[in-house]
Amino acid sequence: MRVFRNCLPMQVLTAVLPPACLALTWALAACTPDPDEKAPQCPVALLRRDASTLSRYDGKGTDLTDLVLSGRLQDVGGACKGLLGKNTLAAHAHATMVLTRGPAATSREVDVPYIIAVMKGDQVLEEHRYTQHVAFPPNVDTVQVTGQEVFFDFPTRRGLGGQNYTIYVLFELTPEELAANRRALGMR
């Protein structure tokens, strides 16, 4: 919510405008935003590097022929919706993923679990778990899907704004899948 100052007095408006336009003009044009009031900064939205790819196998091995599903988180979309009152910043986010059906897949449908988490520094403030259901059309083995929109309200005050929060999106991986991703990235 913006703070408005430098408003025209109501008397000036009533003398200049017809009554039918008065209410709308007063609400929209009679005031200018306070030049000292800055737009709130949005939280940073990131894909967690070690959990942004998925390779799910059939349990018989980790060869390409054993691959049931592979995927990658492609993007985190969203935006700030603005301030709600003086101490809350509203924002929303969603994940876009590309999923590929592997040679070992026995179904054309799959459920892919993923997480959207909010952190302030090293502290996890919120963690939302979702399942993206995907039905691969006939003769199509790769699809791009966008998960549901998730809404957040971030507490703010002087010195604490949206920039102090991070929204992470990651696949919900097994410990073995996470370890394989970390090895592939050269992480420990």
Alpha helices in 29-107 (DSSP H): none
What is the rounded distance in angstroms from the CA atom of residue 177 to the CA atom of residue 119? 23
Write out pLDDT tens, residues 136-163.
999 999 999 999 999 988 888 777 878 8
Fold of 44-185: Immunoglobulin-like (2.60.40)
Spell out the domain ranges in the chain: 4-33, 44-185
Are the beta carbons of 165 and 119 closer than 8 angstroms?
yes
pTM, to two decimals: 0.74
| Residue showing tokens 């876009």 | 96
